[in-house]
């Protein structure tokens, strides 16, 4: 075990050997194995946004097997997906790549202002399918926060008892926030802190904007002159919010956008001290050859 991986695992010293084994496996998988950085392919968009919106740009993506193959060929650290997709691939690809079972889900057919994800899989499912981790989404800013946090607390406890890594997608939204506030720096940093306090081993958030949503927070940012201008500075601040960088924080790729724009963003994310990226639509909506080349560029950025 190299010095960097040993340091990261030391931050989780209260956890049992099963968790440390699975976390080690994710950190040591693929092209970035052993660097302390990671790139993960998440494909929950079919459930979250609908099949046509997710897969019509590259119809091969309608098949869950396409995604696990893409993750393997690209040399990624892990692949995350909901129950149905994982069940489709788990036996054939057992042991080839760490799998993250997305255990709760939301869909865009719900137009309420305060979303709450449904529990759609269990820790038992994750164990049965040989997964290394279970993932949960929370929506800080939703009036349903209490139910979400309590559900995640109970499920995370069961996952940890069984040696599984806990991943939290912490995505602010709901009646407590403006649309602009969903990616505001103060809100994203708060979301990372909430996920860390809920016991996440690995936290996924969106790249933050320079907007400060809450007036009380704005006073503090101004008083202590917290840098907000560059994405690099904002990433540093979000990572700092997750126990001063002692929890693994990775950043989403966001809505589909141009290749050059994504790569510029990835460079700033890396420079800000993030542990990596979790890239969905911006990879699997491209034809396979283009997607592999694109993911290879992202991996090389994190290797620098």
Catalogue the active-site residues.
Answer: 171, 204
Tokens coding 205: 């958030």
Nearest to 246 by CA among 221, 278, 208, 273: 273
Q: Compute the distance between CA of residue 156 and CA of residue 166 in angstroms, rounded to an integer.
A: 6
User: Scanning the structure block, which residue is given the tokens 């589909």?
Assistant: 256
Contact 159, 127 (CB under 8 A): no
Contact 35, 276 (CB under 8 A): no
What count of Cα atoms within 13 Å lies in the side-chain half-sphere of residue 21?
9
CA angle 275, 204, 181 (to 5 degrees): 120
Residue 164 dihedral angles phi and psi, to the nearest 5°: -100, 145
Q: Is 203 helix (H, G, I), strand (E, B) or coil?
A: strand
**Burial class of residue 287, CB neighbours in 10 A (0-12, 13-18, 19+):** exposed
Beta bridge partners of 58: none
Q: Counting runs of H as helices and runs of E as strands, what totals does the chain give?
A: 14, 10
């Amino acid at each position: 075990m190299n010095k960097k991986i040993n340091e990261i695992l030391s931050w989780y010293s209260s956890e049992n050997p099963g968790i440390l084994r699975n976390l080690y496996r994710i950190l040591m998988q693929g092209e970035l194995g052993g660097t302390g950085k990671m790139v993960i392919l998440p494909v929950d968009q079919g459930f979250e946004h609908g099949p046509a919106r997710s897969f019509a740009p590259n119809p091969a993506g309608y098949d869950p097997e396409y995604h696990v193959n893409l993750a393997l060929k690209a040399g990624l650290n892990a692949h995350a997906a909901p129950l149905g997709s994982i069940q489709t691939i788990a036996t054939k690809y057992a042991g080839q790549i760490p799998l993250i079972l997305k255990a709760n889900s939301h869909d865009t057919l719900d137009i309420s202002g305060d979303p709450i994800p449904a529990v759609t899989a269990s820790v038992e499912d994750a164990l049965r399918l040989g997964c290394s981790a279970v993932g949960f989404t929370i929506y800080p800013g939703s009036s349903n926060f209490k139910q979400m946090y309590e559900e995640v607390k109970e499920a995370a406890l069961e996952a940890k008892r069984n040696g599984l890594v806990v991943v939290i997608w912490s995505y602010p939204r709901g009646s407590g926030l403006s649309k602009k506030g969903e990616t505001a720096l103060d809100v994203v940093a708060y979301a990372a802190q909430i996920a860390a306090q809920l016991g996440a081993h690995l936290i996924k958030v969106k790249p933050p904007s320079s907007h400060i949503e809450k007036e009380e927070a704005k006073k503090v940012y101004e008083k202590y002159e917290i840098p907000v201008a560059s994405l690099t500075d904002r990433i540093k601040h979000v990572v700092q919010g997750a126990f001063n960088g002692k929890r693994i924080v990775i950043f989403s790729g966001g809505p589909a956008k141009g290749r050059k724009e994504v790569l510029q963003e990835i460079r700033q994310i890396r420079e800000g001290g993030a542990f990596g990226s979790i890239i969905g639509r911006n990879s699997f909506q491209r034809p396979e050859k283009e997607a592999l080349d694109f993911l290879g560029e992202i991996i090389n950025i994190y290797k620098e």
